Amino acid sequence: MIDVDPSLVNWSRAQFAFTAMYHWIFVPLTLGLSFLCAFYETIYLKTGNEEWKKITRFWMALFAVNFSIGVATGIIMEFEFGTNWSNYSWMVGDIFGAPLAIEGIFAFFLEASFFAVMFFGWNRVSKGFHCFSTWMVAIGSNLSAVWILIANGWMQNPVGMAFNADTARFEMQNFAEVVFNPIAVSKFTHTSSSGFVMGSAFVLTISCWYLIKRKHVEMAKKSIVVASVFGLVASVFVGFTGDEAAYEVAQKQPMKLAAMEGLYKGEHGAGIVAMGIVNDAKMAGDVQDSFLFKVKVPQVLSLLANRELGSFVPGIDDLVYGNEKENIMGVNTMMEKGRLALSDLSAYKDARKNKTEDLAQTALERFNINKEFMGYGYLDTPEEAVPSVNIIFNSFRLMAVIGSLFPVIFGAFLFFTLKGTVTEKRWLLPIGLFTALLGLLAQQAGWVTAEVGRQPWAIQGLMPVKVATTNLSTTSVQVTFAMFAALFTLLLIAEISIMLKQIAAGPEGH
């Protein structure tokens, strides 16, 4: 049990979620558009065609605006770890801080070193070096994502560390294990490839607007061909990386998977719910139906979760209350072990303070038996370990449905553009006009699935969110929430305004 103001926790969580979602508007576009700029400039370097230079500089200008706003929102989000989540930063700073430091020292410096050359080096450096600089910015942007997602992956699956009972901190033990954490690897491949899709969708949307307006038609067609090829390959790859990400979730975060599928009673040969309406009144342990309506495909969930038809997939009730037949320990049992661990940790500290080393050693040995369940000792009820099923179920399906449309959209645009008839397909251009919006919705839905799905944990199984907060007044968080909301809204308006002016000016107005 822990005495924490629920309103403080909720406002702190809301502020960070708001900041992260705003930041996530810009990040995927940066990941994808940076590589598209590199592709366009490489074509210019190979062909010497000045039209490709205009195309490169046009998309580069839009990339610059998005990159700048993304950096600003990202810096604010990182500062929030110290302002709103100081307990978290104290306890895991040795581990969580390392990837973020590497991101700043290595990846961000790589971007910054070549950023000026990329934007201001035209006609000042050789064509080859300028193209190299553009590639370095693209690679640096994606390397930044690598280290940030390694940090996030560790929160979802804490590995390569040990708890120091004397300092009450988690300390790095194996850096390679943290870097090659399966959750982090699957997160990066899925996130980066979905960013490539987002960048391609953005180019498609702007190019379709030009085709509808019959402006800069050749530039739009050339842009569409490259973006469609990149987007088609990336969107197919997203499907494979998404499958791997879901498998890792099933192995490391079974509660998240159960919530994604609205699965309360575990099943052998579990099916996947293709569509359905979640019964929001359903609670763990009760007898209500989990769905008001559903269409289920048999056996598929077992195959995706365990790579084996007929295998057992645990449900929420199994994970909360345990299932002896399937050798699943319930949250209720983990809470008992966690409270023993916290009690033994307290006894160890008291014994060290009183310099009774024998008692301290005995308490430490008892603590080590149950230390992996330490986080569960802070939960008030077993049901607290269940995230919002309704939110996760629907956000996951929104992401999946939209994602399945992209290969078709990119394939259609590539086919008709190469055929030379894309301007005649008046039914297709409006679809392309909304592709970027679809990409943004899919990105946000995916992030909601990943982050809401791991609640109530700041660090999976080791630290609940309510323990990670800073001891602030709720009013302080509310005030800064309002300030950031106003600031981020102004930044978003500024980005959209500048981009619209650039798009209206076209490639001649870079």
Residue closest to 81 by CA, chosen among 372, 462, 469: 469
The whole-angstrom separation of Cα 368 and Cα 377 is 14
Tokens 């309103």 correspond to 7
Residue 235 has pLDDT above 90, yes or no: yes
Residue closest to 488 by CA, chosen among 18, 63, 11: 18
Q: What percent of the chain has pLDDT over 90?
A: 70
Mind listing the pLDDT tens digit for each residue in 135-172? Answer: 999 998 888 889 989 999 999 999 999 999 988 899 99
Parallel, antiparallel, or unpaired: how do β-strands 267-268 and 291-297 relate?
Answer: unpaired
Q: How far is CA 449 from the centre of its chain?
A: 9
Phi, psi for residue 114 in degrees, rounded to 5: -105, -5
Q: Check residue 228 and give its pLDDT.
A: 97
Q: Check residue 105 and give its pLDDT.
A: 78
Q: Check residue 2 and give its pLDDT.
A: 61
Mind listing the pLDDT tens digit for each residue in 180-219? Answer: 999 999 999 999 999 999 999 999 999 999 999 999 999 9
Mind listing the pLDDT tens digit for each residue in 175-190? Answer: 999 999 999 999 999 9
- Better-scored residue on pLDDT, 484 or 231: 231
The three-point CA angle 106-110-113 to 5° equals 135
Q: Check residue 3 and give its pLDDT.
A: 66
The whole-angstrom separation of Cα 85 and Cα 130 is 42
Determine the residue type at 36: L
Distances (CA, A) of 426 to 159, 206, 213: 53, 15, 12
The whole-angstrom separation of Cα 224 and Cα 36 is 11
Q: Check residue 258 and give its pLDDT.
A: 95
Q: What percent of the chain has pLDDT over 70?
A: 99
Q: What is the mean pLDDT of residues 502-509?
A: 82
The domains of the chain are located at 6-253+387-509, 260-321, 336-378
Contacts of 57 (CB under 8 A, 6+ apart): 122, 507, 510
Residue 297 has pLDDT above 60, yes or no: yes
